[in-house]
Amino acid sequence: MEILHYPVLHREVLESLMIDPEKEARLIDCTTGEGGHTQLFLDKYPKLNVTGLDRDKEIQKKAIERFKDYNGRFTPVNTWFDDYLREADPESADAILFDLGISIFHYEESERGFSFRKEEKLDMRLNPDQHLSAEVIVNEYPQEELADVIYRFGEERYSRRIARAIDEARQQKRIEFSGELAEIIFHSVPREYRYGRIHPATRTFQALRIEVNKELDRIKPALESAIKVLKKGGRIGVITFHSLEDRIVKWYFKEEAAKENPQIKILTKKPIVPTDEECRENAPSRSSKLRVVEKLV
């Protein structure tokens, strides 16, 4: 059965990134995925065109198929969003959206080892052409560097124990599968931690995914470029799913808005979070936060 990604904060995103329905306009969806948010905007604004960015060719195929009957109003671009925005024309977009979450497609369909609940090849690459993969990190990073990655990007308090267990296991044989790695992590942590609120491999898998795709490194440069690409009066919306992402977005916007001659003003003094109803309907949305700014000049 094909699984569609549920666009989080869908009502709030539409309300926050207001577009003039009477004018031709352009939205850059920096993290299109299967196109959930894009479809909301295309359906609401008949004169809107969307440039949809995604580095993953496989999930982009889904979006292309989804919008084949939208009369050319959807333009897919296979690229990292920071690379695209750096080269994009100034003041060429009316709105820009980032949904920094990973799609359910990657966990359920991609077969690239994003989920610790499956036995798949350890990969986690959104760009299949790059060398660095989760398997390379797990088997080739020095133990101390591996522990640092798990701690820094997973905020995992048992990072040293986990890295030590991985190092011991990989000396016996190369670790190649996600389920295999999850089992090593499970047995490396204290017994009470194994049966806690989340699976003990959750934070380590998050850390590996972030390191593989350099996710955090892309955010600030992309936001800097997005402000230049945005037209005066246009808005940027950013959806984050964990504190590491949100901290970067929050402080970058605060610093920019506090400048003597600011280019932006913050429209969300506190981030917009999902309603209880949405959390019940779509569990992955529970940790999401939406921050919105408007360009002043």
Query: Both 168 and 98 in a single domain?
Result: no
Asked if the structure places residue 17 within a domain, the reply is: yes
**pLDDT confidence of residue 214:** 97
Q: How far apart are CA 4 and CA 246, in angstroms?
A: 25
For residue 179, the tally of other CB atoms under 10 A from its CB is 16
Task: Tell me if 147 is assigned to some domain.
Answer: yes
| Last residue within a domain, chosen from 185, 213, 241 | 213
Residues 101 and 221 in one domain: yes
Q: Compute the distance between CA of residue 30 and CA of residue 244 in angstroms, rounded to an integer.
A: 19
Digit-coded pLDDT (tens) for 4-47 = 557 899 999 999 998 999 999 999 999 999 999 999 999 999 99
Number of domains present in the structure of the chain: 2
Is 53 among the domain residues? yes
* pLDDT of 202 above 60: yes
Please tell me whether residues 272 and 238 are part of one structural domain. Answer: yes
* Confidence band for 1, pLDDT divided at 50, 70 and 90: very low
Nearest to 14 by CA among 43, 42, 41: 41
CB atoms closer than 10 angstroms to residue 226: 26
By the 8 A CB rule, do 17 and 95 touch? Answer: yes
Q: How far is CA 31 from the centre of its chain?
A: 7
Instruction: Tell me what the mean pLDDT of segment 134-142 comes to.
Output: 98
- Mean pLDDT, to the nearest integer, of 221-234? 98
Residues 184, 227 within the same domain: no
- 1 part of a folded domain: no
**In a shared domain, residues 290 and 224:** yes
Domain residue limits at 138: 109-213
Q: Residue 2's pLDDT band (boundaries 50, 70, 90)? A: very low
Q: What is the CATH number of the domain that holds 146?
A: 1.10.150.170
Q: Does 163 score more than 50 pLDDT?
A: yes
CATH number at residue 80: 3.40.50.150
Is the pTM above the cut of 0.75?
yes
Q: Are residues 116 and 201 in the same domain?
A: yes
127 plus 265 within the same structural domain: no
4 located within any domain: no
The verdict on 95 and 235 lying in the same domain is: yes
pLDDT tens across 117-134, in order? 888 999 999 998 999 999
In the three-class reduction of DSSP (H, G, I as helix; E, B as strand; rest coil), residue 195 is classed as coil
Last residue of some domain: 213, 231, 250? Answer: 213
Residue whose entry in the numeric block shows the structure tokens 């030590």? 164
More confident site: 119 or 233: 233
The predicted structure's pLDDT at residue 5: 58
Is 275 contained in some domain?
yes
Out of 213, 241, 257, pick the residue that ends a domain.
Answer: 213
Same structural domain for residues 116 and 208?
A: yes
Tens of pLDDT, residue by residue over 76-90, are: 999 999 999 999 999
Considering the domain architecture, whether residues 117 and 87 belong to the same structural domain is answered as no
Tell me the average pLDDT across 125-144.
Answer: 96
Q: What is the pLDDT of residue 12?
A: 96
Whether residue 99 sits in one domain with residue 167: no
Same-domain pairing of 191 and 124: yes
Mean pLDDT score of the chain, rounded to an integer? 94
101 in a structural domain:
yes
3 in a structural domain: no
Is residue 140 scored above 70 in pLDDT? yes
